[in-house]
Amino acid sequence: MKFTLGVPFSGDVLPHQHLRTALISTTPPAVLVKELRKSYAREGGVLPFWNRGSQRHMALDGVSFELRQGERLAYLGPNGAGKTTMIRCLSGRTRPDSGTIELMGQPVDRSSARDTLGLVPQEIALYGDLTTRENLFAFGRFHGLRGSNLAKRVEWALQWTGLADRGDDLVSTFSGGMKRRINLACGVLHQPEVLLLDEPSVGVDPQSRQRIFTMLDQLSERGTSILLTTHHLDEAETQCDRIVIVDRGRVVATGTFDELLRQTIGRDRSVTVRLDRVLRGEGNEPLATCGLTLAVKPGERSISAKVPEIAVGLPRLIDAVGAAGYGVVDVDVQSPSLHHVFLHLTGHELRD
């Protein structure tokens, strides 16, 4: 299969909220990935060529998806799902075995990819013995910025990261969250249209994480298309427009959170009502006729129900429980979550 990303594949390094529906629907995808495959030799050394096909580990096993222009897309999967491999393929750091990648509707070459893409790797890639400002100048030059434009972008980055008062301090003295913010700034100094983020909030506290997403909101507002890998379900659910769920090198589902719910477990709430006594074997007609799907098992002290419209269904359920002669001790309402979707799709927990 032809591979259309013309960026380096010889092992060398190249360098929201809700949007903008009109922009998304009328423009080509910022990134279009089709049937991407990448395998690695399994541990244990070099294999004979006739055996390689069967003895290789598929890090990417025919992955297809698109990042639409202006959207923030979560590439969600557990450890080892192939997230970093995907980022490395997109940024030209790893050569895929087969498949195609397009950037802004075009097969890209090295220079257009360098101008259009911003990459923020998972590891902090900063010079600890330089100050914040010196780091930003170094990375800005690396991205081809010079003179007053470079100086302007560095000042912008200091404001954007909230570190204007720490511009002349050595980066080695900073907290993990502060380093992550500078790491992020270094990847966007050249104002890329497409930003690739590999686990942008890994290892940071919740407050720093929120700060990072506030920074990303500002990029989204100016139309930057953002692909971020994550294994945080809540991050994908609440901070991204759409989600690509990957597992063992394959895409298992794609969509908005709402679409994923509809494709899998549905949007009903799971309600458990704890009773003041065990369920009798008879006299439960009000429960049977209340119009909800219930699990009523004589001998147990609780009733489980699937409730589509909670404001209507919950009072109806409570009334039916009372009419059947039971008292309510407690009510537990569970909304369907991405955790449940992932479990439904893969049969295992995200953190397995």
Ligand X SMILES: Nc1ncnc2c1ncn2[C@@H]1O[C@H](COP(=O)(O)OP(=O)(O)OP(=O)(O)O)[C@@H](O)[C@H]1O
When the beta carbons of 77 and 187 are compared against ligand X, the nearer one is 77
Q: What angle do CA 249, 75, 250 make, to 5 degrees?
A: 20
Q: How far is the CB of 318 from ligand X (least distance, A)?
A: 44
Total interface residues for ligand X by CB under 6 A: 12
How would you classify the pairing of strands 98-103 and 72-76? unpaired
Q: Give yes or no for a contact between 168 and 198, defined as CB atoms under 8 angstroms apart.
A: no
Q: Tell me 233's DSSP state.
A: H
Exactly one of 29, 77, 96, 140 binds ligand X (CB under 6 A); that residue is 77
**Residue 166: helix, strand or coil by DSSP?**
helix
When the beta carbons of 85 and 239 are compared against ligand X, the nearer one is 85
When the beta carbons of 129 and 352 are compared against ligand X, the nearer one is 352
Residue 332's DSSP bridge partners are 272
Say which residues have a Cβ less than 8 Å from residue 111's Cβ, sequence separation at least 6: none
When the beta carbons of 46 and 311 are compared against ligand X, the nearer one is 46
When the beta carbons of 43 and 258 are compared against ligand X, the nearer one is 43
Q: How far is the CB of 83 from ligand X (least distance, A)?
A: 4
CA–CA dist 247, 83 (Å, integer): 9
Q: How far is the CB of 200 from ligand X (least distance, A)?
A: 13
Exactly one of 80, 107, 223, 286 binds ligand X (CB under 6 A); that residue is 80
**Interface segment toward ligand X; rule CB under 6 A; list 74-82, 157-165, 213-221, 269-277:** 74-82
Check binding of 142 to ligand X (CB under 6 A). Answer: no
- Applying the rule CB under 6 A, the residues between 194 and 253 that interact with ligand X are 231
When the beta carbons of 42 and 141 are compared against ligand X, the nearer one is 42
Exactly one of 36, 63, 73, 81 binds ligand X (CB under 6 A); that residue is 81
Exactly one of 5, 71, 85, 201 binds ligand X (CB under 6 A); that residue is 85
Quick one: how far is CA 339 from the chain centroid?
A: 13
CA–CA dist 271, 310 (Å, integer): 9
Exactly one of 4, 64, 84, 100 binds ligand X (CB under 6 A); that residue is 84
When the beta carbons of 94 and 208 are compared against ligand X, the nearer one is 94
When the beta carbons of 66 and 247 are compared against ligand X, the nearer one is 247
Q: Would you give the binding string for ligand X spanning residues 45-64, x where CB under 6 A is met?
A: ------------x-x-----
When the beta carbons of 40 and 142 are compared against ligand X, the nearer one is 40
Tell me how far CA of residue 207 lies from CA of 3, 45, 203, 204, in angstroms: 41, 43, 12, 8
Q: Give yes or no for a contact between 158 and 132, defined as CB atoms under 8 angstroms apart.
A: yes
**Residue 35: helix, strand or coil by DSSP?**
strand
Torsion sign across C-alpha atoms 128, 191, 144, 116: positive
Tell me how far CA of residue 147 lies from CA of 127, 137, 140, 141, 234, in angstroms: 21, 10, 10, 9, 41
The two tokens of residue 59 are 């890090």
Q: How far is the CB of 37 from ligand X (least distance, A)?
A: 12
Tell me how far CA of residue 70 lies from CA of 19, 33, 135, in angstroms: 7, 17, 28
- Applying the rule CB under 6 A, the residues between 154 and 173 that interact with ligand X are none
**Residue 316: helix, strand or coil by DSSP?**
helix
- Applying the rule CB under 6 A, the residues between 3 and 42 that interact with ligand X are 40
- Applying the rule CB under 6 A, the residues between 113 and 132 that interact with ligand X are none
Q: Which residues make up the interface to ligand X (CB under 6 A)?
A: 40, 57, 59, 77, 79-85, 231
